[in-house]
Chains A and B, each alone.
Chain A
Amino acid sequence: EDKVVQSPLSLVVHEGDTVTLNCSYEVTNFRSLLWYKQEKKAPTFLFMLTSSGIEKKSGRLSSILDKKELFSILNITATQTGDSAVYLCAPNTGNQFYFGTGTSLTVIP
Chain B
Amino acid sequence: DAGVIQSPRHEVTEMGQEVTLRCKLISGHNSLFWYRQTMMRGLELLIYFNNNVPIDDSGMPEDRFSAKMPNASFSTLKIQPSEPRDSAVYFCASSLGRVRTEAFFGQGTRLTVV
Same complex origin of A and B: yes
User: Which residue numbers of A lie inside 8 Å of B, CB to CB?
Assistant: 31-32, 34, 41-45, 48, 50, 88, 90, 92, 94-102
User: Is B104 among interface residues, defined by CB-CB distance under 8 A?
Assistant: yes
Which size class do B's interface residues fall under?
20 to 34
The residue of chain B having its C-beta at the shortest distance from the C-beta of A45 within the complex is B102
Tell me which of A32, A94, A99 contacts B42 (CB under 8 A): A99
A99 with B43: CB separation less than 8 A: yes
Tell me which of A34, A42, A92, A102 contacts B91 (CB under 8 A): A42
Classify the interface of chain A: helix, strand, loop or mixed.
loop
C-alpha spacing A34/B98, complex, angstroms? 13
Tell me which of B64-72, B77-85, B105-113 binds A.
Answer: B105-113
A43 with B105: CB separation less than 8 A: yes
* Chain A CB within 10 A, most for which of B98, B102, B106: B102
